[in-house]
Amino acid sequence: MKLGRENLPIYGWVGLLWLAAMSAGLALFSGGGRLPSFWIVGGLAALAAIAERQSVPVTRNTEASVAFLPLVFAAVAFGPFAALVVGALAGLGNLQRPYLRCAVYLPARALTAAAAGLAAGAVMAPNGGTAFGKILLACLAASVAEMAADLVFNLGTQAVRAAGSPWALLRTLGPLIFVYAPLYTPIVALLVYGYELYSVAIVGAFLIPAIALQRLIHLYQQQREAVASLEEANTRLERASLSFATALVATLDARDRYTAGHSAAVAVYSRDIAARMGLSEEEQGLVHLCGLVHDIGKIGLPAGLLEKPGALTLEERRQMEEHSAIGEKILSKVDDYAEIARIVRHHHERVDGLGYPEGLGGEEIPLAARIISVADAYNAMTSDRPYRDAMPSRVARLRLAQAVESQFDTTVVAAFEAVLAGGTEAYRSGQREDFSLEVRVAENAIQVAVS
């Protein structure tokens, strides 16, 4: 961060925190504050620093950790000066970029720990009550003081950064005091009580597994975030793939007004057949996408061939049959479209082996290609063409039934017949509203690309 006029409040706040932390340390030391052994201070600081590094997100901008436990333990068991030193060392152990954040965190952590120690000392001083009762009350006071001080420092930092609303921060962090205080206070009280009766080893015996558990939770959340990010990326790729496919279809439809909307109808029919056959959502999506681009190879046909009003000559028919192979060549150049290209290549194969381009038969033909073949033939028969008018749905369905086990797969035709029987007349004629949806998506994709 550059040292500009706009950053002066932040640097002023950092300087104020450091001045307050050093003044508090000197005052507490002068007042008789002493430290336990180096190993105890270093061990508590290390546990707090490790726990802080494994913070678990509570909300989008808030994290929680069990670093609270060693700090409050130090405050109750050893007093405010020891707590301040443990807090400062814990902050020093988390020194990493951005350094300005660490410059705020270190003195703030030391001051919150000292505040906890002062609150605990105020409770422990008076006589009366059982030893554990005093410890429990001291831990409660220290917990509330630590969290309240942390909230104040967070509000101050947010104010000088002019980032966000203080009320939003209060609504987020405020309730945590009422959750964490009852949750952690008995745990810290038992640790302090165990320390006074036995040794400080009991603290490590509890805190090390607690930090390990937090580490597992941290890793689990990282894994969930990675999975969520991967799913989001896959969703974006699927949308981009669909937009790309519909843009290709729009290009074809713009050339041949007689087949405009044909690919969209074939895509919808194919997806519905796949759903009726019980295929997975992933397989339904693949069939739908292949249906959209199944005729894209017609872009590479000679001019005038698609629009010819009369019957095709033998040579023209041979050229027309090249469109599936041309489509494969086009789509094979697109990343992750290898399977789609293969299906498009074979959507004019016949189950009796008399189709093109390779004369595959039966199960040799990909299932998606067999599905598209049926949907393609039906929509072609029920649509107007330059050389004939559209057939009624009942006639087209009869012709499909007559061609099972020769041109079409029986199972696919049976599934499509069930779909058509349950559909409306607009659906059977390819005029339903969602049939044109793919075309509108394509047009929007082209407009976005142009703009």
What is the residue-wise DSSP string for 308-367? --SPPPHHHHHHHTTHHHHHHHHHHTSTT-HHHHHHHHTTT--TTS--SSS---GGGS-H
**In terms of domains, do 193 and 252 share one?**
no
Contacts of residue 203, defined as CB under 8 A and 6 or more positions apart, other chains included, come to 44, 70, 73, 191, 194, 195
Residue 404: beta bridge partners? 408
pLDDT confidence of residue 342: 94
Distance between CA 270 and CA 284 in Å, rounded? Answer: 8
166 is a domain residue: yes
Query: Which tokens is 278 given?
Result: 């019980």
**In terms of domains, do 154 and 253 share one?**
no
211 is a domain residue: no
Q: Which residues of the chain carry a pLDDT beneath 50?
A: 1-3, 58-62, 128-129, 437-451
Query: Can you give the CATH number for the domain in which 20 is found?
Result: 1.10.1760.20
The domain boundary residue, chosen from 139, 174, 199: 199
Distance between CA 408 and CA 401 in Å, rounded? Answer: 9
Helix 410-421 vs helix 367-381: crossing angle, to nearest 10 = 50
**In terms of domains, do 189 and 313 share one?**
no
* Number of structural domains in the chain: 2
The domain boundary residue, chosen from 182, 199, 216: 199
**In terms of domains, do 270 and 157 share one?**
no
264 is a domain residue: yes
437 is a domain residue: yes
pLDDT confidence of residue 56: 52
Specify the pTM.
Answer: 0.50
What is the domain range of residue 258? 236-450
66 is a domain residue: yes
**In terms of domains, do 387 and 304 share one?**
yes
**In terms of domains, do 243 and 176 share one?**
no
**In terms of domains, do 34 and 117 share one?**
yes
**In terms of domains, do 293 and 361 share one?**
yes
**In terms of domains, do 43 and 125 share one?**
yes
209 is a domain residue: no
396 is a domain residue: yes
227 is a domain residue: no
**In terms of domains, do 265 and 413 share one?**
yes
pLDDT confidence of residue 213: 54
At residue 147's C-alpha, the angle toward residues 91 and 92, to 5°, is 0
The domain boundary residue, chosen from 199, 217, 244: 199
Query: Can you give the CATH number for the domain in which 292 is found?
Result: 1.10.3210.10
